[in-house]
Structure 1
Amino acid sequence: MIPADNILLLLVMAALSSLLARLLRNLVPLPLIQILLGVVAASLGVRIGLEPDLFMLVFLPPLLFADAFRMPLREFHELRGTIFFLAFGLVVLSTVFCGYAIHWLIPTLDLACCFALAAALSPTDTVAVTSLIAGRHVPERMIHILSGEALFNDASGLVCFRFATAAAMTGVFSYRQAFGGFLLVALGGMGVGALIAYGAARINRVLLRRGFDDPPLQITLMVLLPFSTYIVAERLGGSGILASVAACMVIKMMGVIEEANTATRLQATTVWTMLSYVFNALIFLLLGLQLPSLLDRGMELAHARHVTLIQLVTLVAAVYAIMSLLRLAGLWLSILRRWLVSRWMHKSFAWPGVLSSVLLTFAGVRGAVTLAAVLSLPVAGAGMDGFPDRELIVTIAAGVIVMSLIGAGLIMPACIRFIPPEGTDRHALEERMARQTLLRAALERLQQEKHAHDAGRGRGAQPDTGPDEVPDTAQGAVQDAARDAAQGAAQGATQGTAQAAVQQMGQGGQRGGDGTSEDEAIRQDVIDRLGQSYENRLNQIDEARQITPMNRHLALRRERIELALRLVLLRAQRQALHSLFSERKINDQTEWELEQELDFEEQLLRARVQRLPQDI
């Protein structure tokens, strides 16, 4: 167990790493800064070990759960063939072929030990990759492939590692038995996770119906879900990692998040963002803290085996090169599979560029999962045999981790710079269409409210405070809300132009004279409109001081009616948004982004309602 003072030190280092990244203007990727901070701290005498079992339980379930939530289900379904091949097929192929290659490089290393090392090197670190490409224009298809692959290859690599380790310790290995066990562990883990998530979703609906909808309770139950699925699946002999991923997928498909109230969704977003940030930082800090001791072990190992440090580094580089070539070959096997399917179904097929293949190859960064796996190998002790050549395996794995991080940090930004952008931004088009649909739904609901109000007046409905005051106020509120919604619709219809203008402002420094003058004109227009808006709000506050008590009373009633109508319009927009998703016109990523905007707007409206006097 890590002492409390060490935990506080890690949290301080996590905050310091973000500060350094901002000071360096994000020129150095955040994971590299965190690893370097860990190395510096270890060099200064800080000793914090990495306990593999604790690492697997504490860090992986919530992080993979959060990553699975961010993975769009529609894109996952469309890319499922490529994702599953990379996450399962490529991992198995890499374990087998790289195992034989390592045995050819190091004949004295037992073949089962070579398979164990290759299996530990198979999982990729999506957190490091995401940080390396953050803020850069990368095709969405590549991001979805990398994210989907990382959801499953940790589990598949660790399952292969488990069987290879058992074979090395017992001396018994069967391909048929290993393959059957692999399927049993993987499918069993996903089945356990899906069942637990389904049961949790049904229980959550019962709690919501009975009024247990307070955000702390809901968020606590959601945070506990990945840990509980992991523990139960591991106890039953399945993959806890796959159980956590499957649980999140089921939660998304059952719409648990959409059923929660607005405050729960807003607070849950903040909580999960904070958890992801802290856990990701701790992973790279712990990785950096282990590197100095691993380097010392490597030098001692080289001395004991009578080889130079250069020879050891060359061996590590050869293993990394083999893993990279196998990943490149696997990527092209996946591409050929897609090409054959397209030919069979008579569909068009676009061959990816060379730079895209290079980018996906170097995106296979190894990280803390690899290190935790090799550190979990048993150490020789009193009455217990250690894993054969454990120190050599740990040294090679640590060297490959460092080389993959350096290679990705150097190669990936260069590839991204020259990869052409996608012809059409599917997500942007969907978002624009959805915004227009939501605004039309609001306008239609306003018309219904107006017709209902007119019908009530036509039937001779009389107000309580005079023949004309309240109806005129209500009608004015409806008209004002309609005018605001109409203005929003106009803004939504021209959103593409505004978005293009913003992009032009970001690229103005690269174009020259005409672009700069256009940017200045756009900026001046925005400043003028914002200035007018703030002046109008200031005038309204000044005028409010001078109105009579009767007029103030009417103004408050007018505001209450307007807020009520705006909440009604938000409800209509939510219904339209959910209809778009159920009809598969938008994916869950677009739905979630627009849902968050509606949540923020509703929160502001309800805050204004609470500030109104209750006797109006």
Structure 2
Amino acid sequence: MESVEVVLAMLLAVVASGWVGRILPFGVPLPLIQIALGAVISGVFRHGVALEPDIFFLLFLPPLLFLDGWRIPKVGLFRDKGTIIELALGLVLFTVVGAGYLVHWLIPSMPLPVAFALAAIVAPTDPVAVSAITSRIPVPPRLMHIIEGESLLNDASGLVCFRFAVAAAVTGSFSPTRAGLTFLWVALAGIAAGVFVTWAVSRAHGALLRRFGEDDGMPILINLLTPFGAYLAAEHIGASGILAAVAAGIAMSYVELSGSASPSTRIRRNVIWDTLQFSLNGVMFVLLGEQLPDIAREALHPPGGGAPLDPWWLARNALALSLGLVVLRFVWVWVSLRLTILNRRRLGQQVFKPRMRLILATSFAGVRGALTMAGVMTLPLALEDGSPFPGRQLAILLASAVIVVSLLLASVALPRLLRGLEVPLEPEAEQEEDRARHAAVTAAVDAVERAGRAHSGEPDAELHAHAWGTVAGLYRHRLRNIQLGNAAGPDVQAARQAERDYRLIALRAERDTILRLGRRREISDEVARKLLREIDLVEARYRES
């Protein structure tokens, strides 16, 4: 019963964090509010819950990473694949070496393998934390795609480095060849497992659907279970369940293009996924906050009567490590960018030289999150000879501090660095959207006209002619708007915006009327719900356009 109460308290904290974030005048990021509420639940009310890394990895990461992989723009992901791989693999290895030696220099008492293990677990950025920070900051689309792609793919390299650093600390031996082969297996097999599970589930679901039919909620439930299947399948063969969940989500975006899901299923599924994403994101940070009081207490007052650590000494080292990670990231981004510019000039390609603010923004966008916390909690308690694992509590505390400091640095620095930043325009996306709209509307007009002419010789031909003429007229109006929009004149754009505003005013008037009729019981609640749903869907389309 107590576990249920803790879960309900965490969900209530997620709800409260949204209101607190709106009340605070300083624009405090939602993850920091949720971490603070989690610390209050654990430190003040004594109702925290211990983080079980295996359960955490299984319950939280697969659905969130699956959804991120599903929704990330694939054009940007594959277009900038070189840059993303440089960050997801090269930057992680560079960070492990640089931050490992930095930690060992700051804290000589921490063995070098343990310092490398700490550096490895704080090297990967967290996709959930990145999304949470950037959700309220206007980030240039291309930069956002690169940061998201990096955070989705760098977990495998970081966790492999962490695994071998821990093994070196425990056994005293390390094999670079074995580490490289393990990384290849963990990454490639994980990606293959994710793609295969999504493909197999989709094929099996399609076959059963054609043979037996199904209830409306079944495809949504199958969709929700797919990331867990991909994660468990990869873990079963010793591969990366994290990459499997990401690959399953990317594969799902292509499966969706088959059009097998019905419109109502897509609408309901999006609502469910949005709610699940908001809830799990929030609970992750609340859970992270709940760990901090006990971690700080055990580090400052070690169990077994050890000497307590100086809080200011801990704060200085945590800040130095966090700033060191930013500096290492800045150096890697700057050097790789210079090499990219030189290579493009050598090939005679057009070169855009980004401003220093963009490089700094990329450096501060390396946010760490609950993945780092869950990983560092897997540090073993003892070495092979039975002696305590050296520096375990200190490593956990430093990793926790890096998470909080990286969130603070990003929330303070990114809005200032990105304000008014000029980046290369990406007109291709708008042109693609206009071409797609034009093709879809043209096909709709042709289909309606063909269907209308098919009834030309029937007794009710006049009725059909009026009906298809009305529908075709609406589509031709949309087609004219698209063609005028392609002219890109400011007056045309203003006219389209004005028409959109008037349509929204009309829809609000419709909704208010339906609600008034429902309150007066002049229509049934069933009719009111049906009409309100129709109005809401139309309004959502205009608000997204």
- TM-score after normalising by structure 2: 0.86
Q: Which residue identity lines up with residue 474 of structure 2 in the other structure?
A: D
Q: Which residue identity lines up with residue 491 of structure 1 in the other structure?
A: N
Q: Which residue identity lines up with residue 28 of structure 1 in the other structure?
A: V
Q: Which residue identity lines up with residue 252 of structure 2 in the other structure?
A: I
After superposition, residues 94-493 of structure 1 pair within 5 angstroms as 94-255=95-256, 258-300=259-301, 308-380=310-382, 384-420=386-422, 422-454=424-456, 457=457, 462-463=458-459, 470-493=460-483
User: Does the 8 A contact of 2:125 with 2:368 survive in 1?
Assistant: yes
User: Does the 8 A contact of 1:213 with 1:260 survive in 2?
Assistant: no
TM-superposed CA distance for 1:46, in Å, is 2.2
State the structure with more CA Rg.
1
User: Does the 8 A contact of 1:201 with 1:256 survive in 2?
Assistant: no
| SS of equivalent to 1:3 | helix
Distance (Å, rounded) in 2 between the aligned partners of 1:501 and 1:285: 48
TM-superposed CA distance for 1:162, in Å, is 1.1
Residue aligning to 1:56: 57
TM-superposed CA distance for 1:442, in Å, is 1.6
TM-superposed CA distance for 1:439, in Å, is 1.6
Residue aligning to 2:528: none
User: Does the 8 A contact of 2:376 with 2:396 survive in 1?
Assistant: yes
Q: In angstroms, what is the RMSD of aligned CA positions?
A: 3.4
User: Does the 8 A contact of 1:120 with 1:157 survive in 2?
Assistant: yes
TM-superposed CA distance for 1:525, in Å, is 10
Runs of 5+ unmatched residues, structure 2: 514-533
User: Does the 8 A contact of 2:354 with 2:423 survive in 1?
Assistant: no
Distance (Å, rounded) in 2 between the aligned partners of 1:331 and 1:196: 35
The more displaced of 524-533 and 282-291 is: 524-533
TM-superposed CA distance for 1:64, in Å, is 0.4
Distance (Å, rounded) in 1 between the aligned partners of 2:8 and 2:491: 45
Residue aligning to 1:593: none
TM-superposed CA distance for 1:429, in Å, is 3.2
After superposition, residues 481-520 of structure 1 pair within 5 angstroms as 481-495=471-485
Distance (Å, rounded) in 2 between the aligned partners of 1:485 and 1:114: 64
TM-superposed CA distance for 1:493, in Å, is 3.5
Q: Residues 16-35 of structure 1, C-alpha deviation per residue, up to 9 Å, x if partnerless?
A: 11122233478222111111
Distance (Å, rounded) in 1 between the aligned partners of 2:220 and 2:393: 43
Instruction: Call closer, same or farther: CA 1:502–1:217 in 2, change over 3 Å.
Output: farther
Distance (Å, rounded) in 2 between the aligned partners of 1:257 and 1:283: 34
Distance (Å, rounded) in 1 between the aligned partners of 2:204 and 2:500: 53
Distance (Å, rounded) in 2 between the aligned partners of 1:387 and 1:193: 35
The more displaced of 405-414 and 310-319 is: 310-319
Percent identity (aligned): 36
Residue aligning to 1:573: none
After superposition, residues 525-536 of structure 1 pair within 5 angstroms as none
TM-superposed CA distance for 1:112, in Å, is 0.9
Residue aligning to 2:42: 42
Q: Which residue identity lines up with residue 472 of structure 2 in the other structure?
A: A
Distance (Å, rounded) in 2 between the aligned partners of 1:166 and 1:502: 65
Q: Residues 530-588 of structure 1, C-alpha deviation per residue, up to 9 Å, x if partnerless?
A: 569979xx9xxxxxxxxxxxxxxxxxxxxxxxxxxxxxxxxxxxxxxxxxxxxxxxxxx
Instruction: Call closer, same or farther: CA 1:500–1:433 in 2, change over 3 Å.
Output: farther
Instruction: Call closer, same or farther: CA 1:307–1:222 in 2, change over 3 Å.
Output: closer
Distance (Å, rounded) in 2 between the aligned partners of 1:219 and 1:26: 39
User: Does the 8 A contact of 2:156 with 2:240 survive in 1?
Assistant: yes
TM-superposed CA distance for 1:253, in Å, is 2.6
Q: Residues 44-65 of structure 1, C-alpha deviation per residue, up to 9 Å, x if partnerless?
A: 1222111111111111111000
Q: Residues 580-613 of structure 1, C-alpha deviation per residue, up to 9 Å, x if partnerless?
A: xxxxxxxxxxxxxxxxx9x957x99xxxxxxxxx
| SS of equivalent to 2:353 | coil
Q: Which residue identity lines up with residue 275 of structure 1 in the other structure?
A: L
Distance (Å, rounded) in 2 between the aligned partners of 1:43 and 1:318: 26
Residue aligning to 2:13: 13
Q: Residues 138-164 of structure 1, C-alpha deviation per residue, up to 9 Å, x if partnerless?
A: 211111001111111122211211111
Q: Residues 269-308 of structure 1, C-alpha deviation per residue, up to 9 Å, x if partnerless?
A: 1111111111000011011111222222333369955763
Q: Which residue identity lines up with residue 14 of structure 1 in the other structure?
A: V
User: Does the 8 A contact of 2:452 with 2:464 survive in 1?
Assistant: no
Distance (Å, rounded) in 1 between the aligned partners of 2:499 and 2:183: 63
The more displaced of 131-140 and 249-258 is: 249-258
User: Does the 8 A contact of 1:139 with 1:422 survive in 2?
Assistant: no
After superposition, residues 575-590 of structure 1 pair within 5 angstroms as none
Q: Which residue identity lines up with residue 492 of structure 1 in the other structure?
A: I
Q: Which residue identity lines up with residue 59 of structure 2 in the other structure?
A: V
Instruction: Call closer, same or farther: CA 1:482–1:527 in 2, change over 3 Å.
Output: closer
Instruction: Call closer, same or farther: CA 1:113–1:528 in 2, change over 3 Å.
Output: closer
User: Does the 8 A contact of 1:71 with 1:144 survive in 2?
Assistant: yes
| SS of equivalent to 1:254 | helix
The more displaced of 273-282 and 220-229 is: 220-229
Instruction: Call closer, same or farther: CA 1:26–1:102 in 2, change over 3 Å.
Output: closer
TM-superposed CA distance for 1:418, in Å, is 3.4
Distance (Å, rounded) in 1 between the aligned partners of 2:272 and 2:343: 43
Distance (Å, rounded) in 1 between the aligned partners of 2:195 and 2:2: 32
User: Does the 8 A contact of 1:213 with 1:261 survive in 2?
Assistant: no
Instruction: Call closer, same or farther: CA 1:136–1:367 in 2, change over 3 Å.
Output: closer
TM-superposed CA distance for 1:421, in Å, is 5.3
Q: Residues 431-474 of structure 1, C-alpha deviation per residue, up to 9 Å, x if partnerless?
A: 233222222222222333344444xx3xxxx52xxxxxx11111
Q: Residues 329-378 of structure 1, C-alpha deviation per residue, up to 9 Å, x if partnerless?
A: 22123323432442343211112211111111111111111111111112
Instruction: Call closer, same or farther: CA 1:271–1:529 in 2, change over 3 Å.
Output: closer
Distance (Å, rounded) in 2 between the aligned partners of 1:381 and 1:109: 14
Instruction: Call closer, same or farther: CA 1:382–1:172 in 2, change over 3 Å.
Output: closer
Distance (Å, rounded) in 2 between the aligned partners of 1:403 and 1:530: 45
Distance (Å, rounded) in 2 between the aligned partners of 1:129 and 1:191: 26
Residue correspondences, number: 515
User: Does the 8 A contact of 1:39 with 1:289 survive in 2?
Assistant: yes
TM-superposed CA distance for 1:237, in Å, is 0.9
Residue aligning to 1:544: none
User: Does the 8 A contact of 2:485 with 2:493 survive in 1?
Assistant: no
Residue aligning to 2:28: 28
Instruction: Call closer, same or farther: CA 1:321–1:21 in 2, change over 3 Å.
Output: closer
Instruction: Call closer, same or farther: CA 1:397–1:416 in 2, change over 3 Å.
Output: same
Instruction: Call closer, same or farther: CA 1:343–1:391 in 2, change over 3 Å.
Output: same
Instruction: Call closer, same or farther: CA 1:144–1:208 in 2, change over 3 Å.
Output: same
